[in-house]
Amino acid sequence: MDGNGRWAQRRGLPRLMGHRAGRRAVREVVEGCVALGVKVLTLYTFSLENWERTPREVMGLMRILEQVLRDEREELKKNNVQLRTIGHVERLPERSQNILNETRGYLEPNDGLTLVLALSYGGRAEIVDAARRLVAADRKKKIPLARIDDDLFRRQLDTNGLPDPDLLIRTSGELRVSNFLLWQLAYAEFWVTDTLWPDFRRKHLYQAVHDFQNRSRRFGRAN
């Protein structure tokens, strides 16, 4: 969800105002995915690298997260959305973790769109964590080398039980992966727009999905 800072800068506003303005885009995308029947939507909400921002901005981002979860949970409930997180969520402030857990529990009966928030997340860290889990399991069960395959490794990832993404949307014209779902994006289709995240609307989502539907996905195979 790139472009919040630039959106604010162009208007002579503090960066946090850009993050706050991104709330509407989140709602538009969630509701758009519900309308389209999308199974899983993952939002790269806060990366491991984001901890390196100023303490003031980090704290502001945590407060925005808490506010959005509190304010939107009723609407999420109404739209049959369930909540899941990936990343080192234990690094978040205790209050943020508590509100996350409360919201997750409140939405647990739902069985529609799975909204995944990537929080304190990094793709490389996720792969390293998965390798560590395999090593720890091997010490207990002596896993044969022949058993270590894509499927076994995938089950050690934060996204265990979720399908790999079909479509990656990048706002603000960014052309890099930015340490996001490095394992899972192996065959994802990319869609890039110059639109800054706070200006991203349902029409942009629908255009991305329309373009995706008209692509030929070969997964490395010939036509």
The residues annotated with a catalytic role in the active site are 2, 50
Of 180, 181, 169, 164, residue with least CA distance to 205: 169
Long-range contacts, stretch 59-66, CB < 8 angstroms, 24+ apart: 60/16, 60/19, 61/16, 61/19, 62/92, 62/93, 62/95, 62/96, 64/16, 64/19, 64/20, 64/23, 65/96, 65/99, 65/119, 66/95, 66/96, 66/99
Give the alpha-carbon dihedral of 134, 124, 155, 46, to 10 degrees.
130
Please measure the distance between the N-terminal and C-terminal CA atoms of the chain and give it in whole angstroms: 33
CA-based Rg of the chain, rounded to a whole angstrom?
18
Question: What distance in Å separates the CA atoms of residue 179 and residue 167, rounded to the nearest whole number?
Answer: 16
Give phi and psi for 87, each to the nearest 5: 110, -175
Residue type, 122: G
Question: What distance in Å separates the CA atoms of residue 84 and residue 104, rounded to the nearest whole number?
Answer: 7
